[in-house]
């Protein structure tokens, strides 16, 4: 899987938040929830894992990733691997297939209500709301799967694909890695805020300044050139 700059570069863009002073009756949210529920699980201390997320079986989550409310991850066989700086959004389902692990690359966004079932998602991809990716499928680096798409078993899509439909097919070729990485960084910012109890982190000049700087940094990243 790819990496994004050096550790020191990433730390320069790490947002700083303080807890909201007036928030009351807020559901308890784990800052890192780094403790594993079984010896098979590997969850780094920098991961944001919401208390309502449910993980079962052999699951690993890379550094600085986030797992949001009501996500379910199950690995009764094989394993589920989530890379670095990826986000698994509310109500998403990650499940192994009988013959396949589920693998999510670095800087991926698995958006609300999406299902990944025994499939491989390469780095810098975005899987749209309510999309389904079935056993043995592979989504190439820097691709977008449109909301509601249904990707059949063993389907393979090249890097830089725009995929839509039921059943899904490639409808365009476009290098979406920059935009997808921007989305992943937005969710990383959001996760840092949620750790501090700030649920309005995208509202204000601090975020806007940070995002402009981050977009400029992403545009200079040689790792993201030449996908298409």
Q: CATH number for the domain including 42?
A: 2.160.10.10
The reply to whether 37 falls in a domain is yes
pLDDT at 41: 93
pLDDT at 13: 44
Residue 200 has pLDDT above 50, yes or no: yes
Q: Which of 214, 21, 187 shows the shortest CA–CA distance to 92?
A: 187
Q: Which of 89, 61, 90, 59 shows the shortest CA–CA distance to 75?
A: 59
Angstrom distance (rounded) from CA 70 to CA 113: 10
According to DSSP, the β-strands at 120-121 and 138-139 are: parallel
Mean pLDDT of 164-183: 96
- What is the domain extent for residue 162? 7-17+27-177
According to DSSP, the β-strands at 72-82 and 93-95 are: parallel
Residue 44: pLDDT band (50, 70, 90) is confident
Angstrom distance (rounded) from CA 67 to CA 52: 10
The reply to whether 1 falls in a domain is no
The reply to whether 125 falls in a domain is yes
Q: What angle do CA 224, 126, 58 make, to 5 degrees?
A: 105
CB-CB contact of 60 with 42 (8 Å): yes
Angstrom distance (rounded) from CA 168 to CA 145: 9
167 upstream amide cis, omega within 30 of 0: yes
Angstrom distance (rounded) from CA 115 to CA 95: 8
Least confident of 108-117, 119-128, 197-206: 197-206
pLDDT at 225: 57
Residue 131 has pLDDT above 80, yes or no: yes
Q: How many domains does the chain have?
A: 1
**Counts of helices then strands in the chain (DSSP H, E):** 3, 19
Angstrom distance (rounded) from CA 89 to CA 79: 19
The reply to whether 219 falls in a domain is no
Q: Which two tokens stand for residue 222?
A: 């040689």
pLDDT at 8: 40
Residue 34 has pLDDT above 90, yes or no: no
The reply to whether 213 falls in a domain is no
Q: pTM for the full model?
A: 0.84
The reply to whether 69 falls in a domain is yes
């Amino acid at each position: 899987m790819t990496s994004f700059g050096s550790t020191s570069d990433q730390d320069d863009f790490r947002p700083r938040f303080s807890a909201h002073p007036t928030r009351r009756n807020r559901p308890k949210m784990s800052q890192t929830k780094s403790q594993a529920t079984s010896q098979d699980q590997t969850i780094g201390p920098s991961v944001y894992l919401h208390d309502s997320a449910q993980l079962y079986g052999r699951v690993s989550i890379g550094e600085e990733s986030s797992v949001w409310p009501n996500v379910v991850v199950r690995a009764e066989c094989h394993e589920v691997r989530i890379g670095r700086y990826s986000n698994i959004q509310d109500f998403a389902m990650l499940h192994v297939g009988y013959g396949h692990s589920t693998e999510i690359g670095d800087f991926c966004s698995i958006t609300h209500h999406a299902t990944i079932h025994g499939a491989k998602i390469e780095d810098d991809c975005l899987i749209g709301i309510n999309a389904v990716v079935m056993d043995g499928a592979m989504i190439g680096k820097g691709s977008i799967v449109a909301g509601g798409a249904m990707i059949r078993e063993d389907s393979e899509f090249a890097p830089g694909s725009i995929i839509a439909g039921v059943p899904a097919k490639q409808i365009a070729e476009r290098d979406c890695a920059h935009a997808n990485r921007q989305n992943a960084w937005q969710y990383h910012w959001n996760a840092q805020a949620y750790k501090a109890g700030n649920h309005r982190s995208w509202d204000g000049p601090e975020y806007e300044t940070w995002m402009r700087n981050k977009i400029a940094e992403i545009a200079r990243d040689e790792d993201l050139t030449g996908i298409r």
